[in-house]
Homo-oligomer: A and B are copies of this chain.
Amino acid sequence: MTNEQRPYTIALDAMGGDLAPAEPVKGAVLAAHRHGVRVLLVGDPEAIEAELARLDHDHLPLKVVPAEGVIQEGGSPARSLRSKPRASIAVGVGLVKAGRADALVSMGSTGATMAASVLALGLFDGLERPALGGPFIGLAPTTSIMDLGAQIDCRPSQLLGIAALGCTFARYFLRIPNPRMGLLSVGTEAGKGNRQVQEAYPLFEASGLNFIGNVEGNELFLDKADVVVCDGFVGNVLLKYTEGLGRAAALALARSLGPDSPAVHQLNSIASTAESAGGPLLGVNGTVIVGHGKSTGEGIANAVGRAKDALAIGLVDAMRDELRLVLGRAGAMEAAPQGS
Residues of A in contact with B (beta carbons under 8 Å apart): 74, 137, 139-140, 149, 152-153, 184-187, 189, 193-195, 197, 216-222, 230-234, 236-245, 247-249, 252-253, 256-257, 261-264, 266-267, 270
Contact among B185, B218, B220, B236 for A186, CB-based, below 8 A: B236
Report the minimal beta-carbon distance from A155 to chain B, rounded to whole angstroms.
Answer: 12
Question: 20 A-B Cβ contacts within 8 A?
Answer: A74-B187, A139-B245, A139-B249, A152-B186, A152-B193, A186-B237, A193-B233, A194-B233, A216-B237, A217-B238, A217-B241, A217-B242, A218-B243, A219-B240, A219-B244, A238-B241, A249-B249, A256-B262, A257-B262, A267-B267
Flag if B247 contacts A253 (CB, 8 Å).
no
Flag if B194 contacts A152 (CB, 8 Å).
yes
Question: Cβ of A256: which chain B residues have Cβ within 8 Å of it?
Answer: 262, 266
Q: Could you tell me the distance between the alpha carbons of A217 and B189 in the complex, rounded to whole angstroms?
A: 27
Report the minimal beta-carbon distance from A246 to chain B, rounded to whole angstroms.
Answer: 9
Flag if B240 contacts A218 (CB, 8 Å).
yes
Report the minimal beta-carbon distance from A248 to chain B, rounded to whole angstroms.
Answer: 4
Q: Could you tell me the distance between the alpha carbons of A262 and B261 in the complex, rounded to whole angstroms?
A: 11
Report the minimal beta-carbon distance from A237 to chain B, rounded to whole angstroms.
Answer: 4
Contact among B218, B244, B262 for A241, CB-based, below 8 A: B218
Q: Could you tell me the distance between the alpha carbons of A231 and B244 in the complex, rounded to whole angstroms?
A: 20
Question: Cβ of A240: which chain B residues have Cβ within 8 Å of it?
Answer: 186, 216-219
Given the interface pairs A236-B186, A256-B262, A266-B252, the reply to whether A242 lies near B245 with Cβ below 8 Å is: yes
Given the interface pairs A256-B266, A261-B263, the reply to whether A221 lies near B247 with Cβ below 8 Å is: yes
Question: Cβ of A230: which chain B residues have Cβ within 8 Å of it?
Answer: 237
Given the interface pairs A189-B74, A261-B263, the reply to whether A270 lies near B249 with Cβ below 8 Å is: yes
Question: Cβ of A153: which chain B residues have Cβ within 8 Å of it?
Answer: 194-195
Report the minimal beta-carbon distance from A303 to chain B, rounded to whole angstroms.
Answer: 21
Q: Could you tell me the distance between the alpha carbons of A236 and B186 in the complex, rounded to whole angstroms?
A: 6
Flag if B221 contacts A184 (CB, 8 Å).
no
Report the minimal beta-carbon distance from A47 to chain B, rounded to whole angstroms.
Answer: 28
